[in-house]
């Protein structure tokens, strides 16, 4: 099936399409400028309507649904995502510019997250306490937090909403989702998908629009109970400040400057492939990008020669053509920012070993794989998130040096190490300051495993069992079943139980 016509989207509120009332926003394919989708920015009235719909549906329809009922909806949604995978992959590819094959894989992986969350919906448990005394029992119960405001970025739109929304729904929360204004289509289509899957109207609402207007209105809304945000550290900090004012739970998945370490004792062919994939997947527009490649000095020269040779063969261009591995940069702003960083790297004295070349062509924004060697830890290209196909190579002598270099960052999202020595691997796992450490692999992420960062990479975890628990609160329940024998008035005051 082909999807070549431009689609006009409304907001998805209370189970139907509603035209938002703000200015029109167009999304063009960043590969070639073709118009892909149109929608309107959401105003205060639109956001109010969405939050009210979620609040009502939470109370009347979803908080009281059984785990089995929630699970059935999520499992059906996974099947429908699979059935509509061609359409979802088309919009994912056309709005973000990523290669069609990659977009398809991301939709399939997303479907698996919905399947996994379906299993979790039936397994939300607390603890029980049976040793507190005769006829005295207590338990903790995990209760859904309420209405979750979910805000997502443009780099992996459907994958990222699928790391959050099915887990929120499994927990029993209702949601108002605001996708990036650059890639809203697939998240909006979830409205139709979940309705067909049997989700009661109002439990999911999707409001389209810009961050500064619609996103900010949502963050500030008094009737949301939680903020689940993925995006830049700058906006994440803003979300946290707003959340603090409203005393909301805040969960943040933010930027990274991830260290990918290669020791001399590693399988260097495997490490080479992973280093290339880690650096250039999605044109480097990935929070997990292995943007700092740390090489042990004894193998550095040969590894760099092979890395540059392979990176030079990465195909770059309009991803509607078959065989493109690397697509465009998402928009002109981001393109200009990366081009500036390439100039900064040169000015700082790093050696441009490959690339640095870029072009605006037929409405698309392309930057070739770019490799800097001789990078020193103080340089901006070693410290700041560039979010493009630019990798900074640093060298080290010992494992201790590598760990110190890796940890010299305000971020702590993920890190990788390639080594054939189990002691090196264990030392790295213990010492690397990151939410995920990959050993002899990179970018793996099964649905069972929690994901998140430390430091300026965020707070909280998503995916896995913890991904559901993130959307719950703990309620402590105490029950005395043998009668209540104390009399506070008229008797000596007892110390409370400690």
What is the set of active-site residues? Answer: 253, 287
Interface mask (CB under 6 A) for ligand NAD, residues 273-292, using x and -? --------------x-----
Q: Are 195 and 201 in contact (CB under 8 A)?
A: yes
Is 230 an interacting residue with respect to ligand NAD (CB under 6 A)?
A: yes
What is the closest distance, in whole angstroms, from the C-beta atom of residue 442 to ligand NAD in the complex? 15
Q: Does 254 bind ligand NAD (CB under 6 A)?
A: yes
Residue 213 binds to ligand NAD (criterion: CB under 6 A): no
Binder among 37, 53, 180, 258 for ligand NAD (CB under 6 A) = 180
Does 148 participate in binding ligand NAD (rule CB under 6 A)?
Answer: no
Among 14, 92, 95, 181, binds ligand NAD (CB under 6 A): 181
User: What tokens were used for 36?
Assistant: 């892909």
Q: Is 41 in the site for ligand NAD (CB under 6 A)?
A: no
Where are any strands of DSSP class E within 96-135?
A: 128-129
- Residue 167 in the binding site for ligand NAD (CB under 6 A): no
Determine phi and psi for 447, rounding to 5 degrees.
-65, -20
Which one of residues 22, 166, 172, 255 is an interface residue with ligand NAD (CB under 6 A)?
A: 255
- Using CB under 6 A as the binding rule, whether residue 212 contacts ligand NAD is answered as yes
**Binding positions for ligand NAD, 327-356, rule CB under 6 A:** none
Look up residue 235 and give its two tokens. Answer: 């906006």
Alpha-carbon distance of 158 to 184, in angstroms, equals 9
In 3D space, the residue among 148, 127, 4, 2 whose CA is nearest the CA of residue 63 turns out to be 148
Task: Report the DSSP beta bridge partners of residue 18.
Answer: 11
Among 215, 278, 389, 460, binds ligand NAD (CB under 6 A): 215
**Minimum separation from the CB atom of position 387 to ligand NAD (A):** 6
Cα–Cα distance between 261 and 151 in angstroms, integer? 32
Q: Which stretch binds ligand NAD (CB under 6 A): 81-89, 200-208, 229-237, 312-320?
A: 229-237
Is residue 309 classed exposed, middle or buried when 0-12, 13-18 and 19+ CB atoms within 10 A define those classes?
A: exposed
Q: Tell me which of 356, 458, 460, 467 binds ligand NAD, using CB under 6 A.
A: 458
Structure tokens at 367: 């930057």
Structure tokens given for 199? 């989700």
Q: Which of 131, 415, 63 is nearest to 274 (CA)?
A: 415
- Sign (positive or negative) of CA dihedral 404, 409, 415, 418: negative
Instruction: Answer positive or negative: Cα dihedral of 452, 453, 457, 461.
Output: positive
Beta carbon of residue 183, minimum distance to ligand NAD (angstroms, whole number): 9
CB of 179 to ligand NAD, least distance (A): 6
Binding-site size, ligand NAD (CB under 6 A): 30
Minimal distance in Å, beta carbon 159 to ligand NAD?
A: 9
User: Which residue in the shown chain puts its C-beta closest to ligand NAD?
Assistant: 211
In this chain, which stretch among 8-16, 86-94, 253-261, 310-318 interacts with ligand NAD, using CB under 6 A? 253-261
Decide whether 15 or 215 has the Cβ nearer to ligand NAD: 215
Q: What is the CA radius of gyration of the chain?
A: 25
Distance between CA atoms of 330 and 367, rounded to whole angstroms? 11
Q: Between the CA of residue 5 and those of 2, 104, 332, what are the distances in Å? A: 9, 19, 24
Q: Which residues bind ligand NAD (CB under 6 A)?
A: 151-155, 160, 178, 180-181, 210-212, 215-216, 219, 230-232, 235, 238, 253-256, 287, 385, 387, 413, 453, 458
């Amino acid at each position: 099936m082909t999807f070549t016509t431009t689609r006009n989207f409304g907001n998805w509120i209370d189970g139907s399409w509603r035209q938002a009332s703000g200015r029109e926003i167009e999304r063009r394919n960043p590969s070639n400028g073709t118009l892909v989708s149109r929608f309107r920015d959401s105003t205060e009235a639109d956001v109010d309507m969405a939050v009210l719909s979620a609040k009502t549906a939470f109370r009347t329809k979803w908080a009281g649904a059984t785990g089995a009922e929630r699970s059935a909806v999520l499992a059906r949604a996974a099947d429908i995502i699979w059935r509509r995978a061609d359409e979802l992959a088309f919009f994912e590819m056309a709005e973000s510019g990523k290669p069609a094959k990659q977009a398809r894989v991301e939709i399939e992986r997303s479907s698996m997250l919905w399947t996994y969350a379906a299993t979790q919906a039936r397994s939300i448990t607390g603890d029980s306490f049976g040793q507190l005394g005769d006829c005295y029992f207590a338990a903790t119960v995990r209760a859904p937090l309420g209405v979750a405001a979910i805000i997502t970025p443009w780099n992996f739109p459907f994958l990222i909403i699928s790391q959050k929304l099915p887990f929120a729904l499994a927990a029993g929360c209702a949601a108002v989702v605001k996708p990036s204004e650059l890639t809203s289509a697939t998240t909006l289509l979830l409205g139709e998908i979940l309705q067909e899957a049997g989700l009661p109207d109002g439990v999911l609402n999707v409001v389209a629009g810009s961050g500064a207007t619609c996103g900010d209105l949502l963050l500030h809304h008094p009737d949301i109970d939680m903020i689940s945000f993925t995006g830049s550290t700058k906006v994440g900090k803003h979300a946290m400040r707003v959340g603090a004012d409203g005393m909301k739970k805040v969960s943040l998945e933010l930027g990274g400057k991830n260290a990918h370490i290669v020791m001399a004792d590693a399988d260097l062919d495997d490490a080479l492939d992973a280093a290339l994939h880690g650096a250039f997947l999605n044109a480097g527009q990935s929070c997990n990008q292995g943007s700092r490649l740390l090489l042990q000095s004894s193998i550095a020269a040969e590894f760099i020669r092979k890395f540059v040779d392979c990176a030079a063969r990465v195909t770059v261009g309009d991803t509607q053509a078959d065989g493109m591995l690397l697509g465009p940069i998402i928009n002109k702003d981001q393109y200009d920012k990366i081009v500036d960083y390439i100039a900064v790297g040169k000015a700082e004295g790093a050696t441009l070993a490959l690339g640095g070349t870029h072009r605006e062509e037929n409405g698309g924004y392309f930057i070739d794989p770019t490799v800097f060697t001789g990078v020193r830890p103080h340089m901006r290209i070693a410290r700041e998130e560039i979010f493009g196909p630019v990798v900074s190579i640093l060298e080290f002598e010992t494992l201790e040096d590598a760990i110190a270099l890796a940890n010299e960052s305000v971020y702590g999202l993920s890190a990788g190490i390639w080594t054939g020595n189990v002691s090196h691997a264990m030392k790295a796992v213990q010492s690397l300051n990151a939410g995920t450490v990959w050993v002899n692999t990179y970018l793996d992420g099964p649905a069972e495993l929690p994901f998140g960062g430390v430091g300026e990479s965020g707070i909280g975890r998503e995916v896995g069992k913890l991904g559901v628990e993130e959307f719950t609160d703990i309620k402590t329940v105490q029950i005395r079943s043998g009668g209540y024998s104390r009399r506070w008035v008229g008797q000596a005051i007892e110390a409370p139980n400690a």
